[in-house]
């Protein structure tokens, strides 16, 4: 059997493995299709995260220098996998042979995991929708953290999977005017299809154009999903006095293009950082927890209120090394990479 492993920044290989004996509380799964997480995971793959030289200290809640010869690499690639149960432990009663399941599992031909790590495929969802549950949970949290409602105006920066789902959820949440920003025309066209009233390319002065498109006031809320410091700066510029900026993506490197001595200093914005499903408790705890976030997203997909047409570019498992080379050279080549076994 083979699995996909990042061995150094931008370097990926197949690694052989053998499955161990199944434990009583585990299931074994044969992979059918997997998907990558293009924001955070690709930043890790390219070595553009603080985790390369630092590690997170849970007690201090700080990044600190890595100790000794510890390294981020090697690590598994991939985000969500759908597969079929081919073996069940003696203490597992939730699953049967042949059940189709999904979970946060890497790109690997088989998985032997605790049964609690996977769930049945939700009724009424396509495989493609299941693979987009993760970006949809982040989009939902971003919209909720924006604290806007019927009649507000919203800008979404970055039109990857999270951004395009955020556009749709902003409309569902009552935004009366939505501006979507991305350098790629195809993604701007999708945003238009999904409910954006105006799309902009960052080649122009986006902050100024947002102000002009909103009666010189700016949007009430900007949601920045691209991880670009320049985009964050324009989000600040385009948000009205007293408005809110939600930062969703993982930023890395020096903050080139971000100047907090300009509009940020004057316009009394609120900035909400790090929309991570893992960062609990949430601001709306105990009403909202992780289970409710996932149940809500699955419900939205089930009711067909979210559209993922054009998101997934699928390659075979044999082609995955070449696909990652493409992503290394052009991370924006596809909205979301799928791998079928």
Q: Provide the b/e sequence for 112-135 (b: ≥16 CB within 10 Å).
A: bbebeebbebbeebebbbbbbbbb
Task: Decide if 259 contacts 233 (C-beta within 8 A).
Answer: yes
Task: Decide if 267 contacts 241 (C-beta within 8 A).
Answer: yes
Structure tokens given for 265:
């200093």
- Name the CATH superfamily housing domain 135-272: NAD(P)-binding Rossmann-like Domain (3.40.50.720)
pTM: 0.95
Residue 239: pLDDT above 90?
Answer: yes
Domain covering 2-132+311-340, topology = Quinone Oxidoreductase; Chain A, domain 1 (3.90.180)
Residue 274: pLDDT above 80?
Answer: no
Mean pLDDT across 83-90: 98
- pLDDT tens-digit profile of 117-144? 999 999 999 999 999 999 999 999 999 9
Average pLDDT value for the chain: 95
Predicted confidence at residue 238, as pLDDT, reads: 98
Measured CA to CA in angstroms, residue 113 lies from 15, 24, 85, 104 at distances of: 19, 11, 11, 11
Place of tokens 């100790």: 67
C-alpha span between 116 and 163 (Å, rounded) = 30
pLDDT > 90 in the chain, percent: 87
Domain spans in the chain, listed from the N-terminal domain onward: 2-132+311-340, 135-272
Predicted confidence at residue 68, as pLDDT, reads: 78
H-state helical runs in 19-132:
40-45, 127-131
Predicted confidence at residue 92, as pLDDT, reads: 98
Angle between helices 185-193 and 161-172 (to 10 degrees): 20
Please name the residues in contact with 93: beta carbons below 8 A apart, sequence gap of 6 or more: none
Predicted confidence at residue 42, as pLDDT, reads: 85
Please name the residues in contact with 71: beta carbons below 8 A apart, sequence gap of 6 or more: 52
User: pLDDT band for position 71 (50/70/90)?
Assistant: confident
Mean pLDDT across 19-33: 97
Task: Decide if 104 contacts 82 (C-beta within 8 A).
Answer: no
Residue 41: pLDDT above 90?
Answer: no
Residue 230: pLDDT above 90?
Answer: yes
Nearest CA to 237 among 200, 290, 274? 200
Predicted confidence at residue 301, as pLDDT, reads: 98
- pLDDT tens-digit profile of 144-185? 999 999 999 999 999 999 999 999 999 999 999 999 999 999
Residue 58: pLDDT above 80?
Answer: yes
Predicted confidence at residue 278, as pLDDT, reads: 87
Mean pLDDT across 312-316: 97
Place of tokens 């991305």: 182
User: pLDDT band for position 295 (50/70/90)?
Assistant: very high
User: pLDDT band for position 252 (50/70/90)?
Assistant: confident
User: pLDDT band for position 116 (50/70/90)?
Assistant: very high
For the ranges 35-39, 103-107, 180-184, 187-191, which has the lowest average pLDDT? 35-39
Residue 340: pLDDT above 90?
Answer: yes
Residue 323: pLDDT above 90?
Answer: yes
Mean pLDDT across 188-195: 98
Predicted confidence at residue 221, as pLDDT, reads: 98
């Amino acid at each position: 059997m083979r699995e996909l492993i990042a061995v150094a920044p931008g370097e990926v290989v197949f690694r052989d493995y053998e499955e161990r004996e199944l434990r009583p509380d585990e299931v074994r799964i044969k992979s059918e299709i997997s998907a990558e997480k293009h924001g955070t995971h690709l930043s890790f793959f390219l070595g553009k995260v603080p985790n390369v030289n630092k590690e997170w200290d849970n007690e201090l809640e700080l990044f600190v220098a890595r100790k000794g010869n510890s390294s981020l690499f090697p690590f598994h690639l991939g985000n969500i996998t759908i597969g079929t149960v081919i073996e069940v432990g003696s203490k597992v009663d939730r699953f049967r042979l042949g059940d189709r399941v999904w979970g946060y599992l890497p790109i690997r031909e088989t998985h032997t995991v605790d049964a609690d790590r996977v769930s049945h495929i939700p009724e009424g969802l396509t495989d493609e929708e299941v693979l987009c549950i993760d970006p949809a949970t982040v989009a939902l949290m971003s919209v909720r953290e924006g604290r806007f409602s019927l009649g507000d105006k919203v800008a979404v920066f970055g039109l990857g999977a999270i951004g395009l789902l955020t556009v749709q959820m902003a409309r569902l949440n009552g935004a009366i005017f939505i501006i979507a920003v991305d350098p790629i025309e195809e993604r701007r066209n999708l945003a238009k299809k999904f409910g954006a009233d105006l799309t902009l390319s960052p080649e122009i002065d986006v902050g100024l154009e947002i102000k002009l498109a909103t009666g010189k006031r700016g949007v009430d809320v900007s949601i920045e999903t691209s991880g670009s410091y320049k985009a964050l700066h324009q989000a600040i510029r385009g948000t009205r006095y007293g408005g809110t900026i939600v930062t969703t993506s993982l930023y890395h490197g020096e903050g080139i293009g971000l100047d907090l001595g300009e509009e940020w200093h004057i316009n009394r914005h609120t900035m909400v950082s790090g929309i991570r499903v893992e960062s609990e408790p949430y601001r709306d705890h105990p009403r909202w927890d992780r289970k409710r976030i996932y149940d809500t997203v699955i419900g939205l997909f089930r009711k067909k209120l979210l559209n993922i047409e054009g998101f997934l570019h699928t390659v075979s498992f044999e082609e995955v090394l070449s696909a990652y080379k493409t992503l290394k050279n052009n991370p924006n080549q596809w909205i979301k990479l799928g791998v079928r076994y």
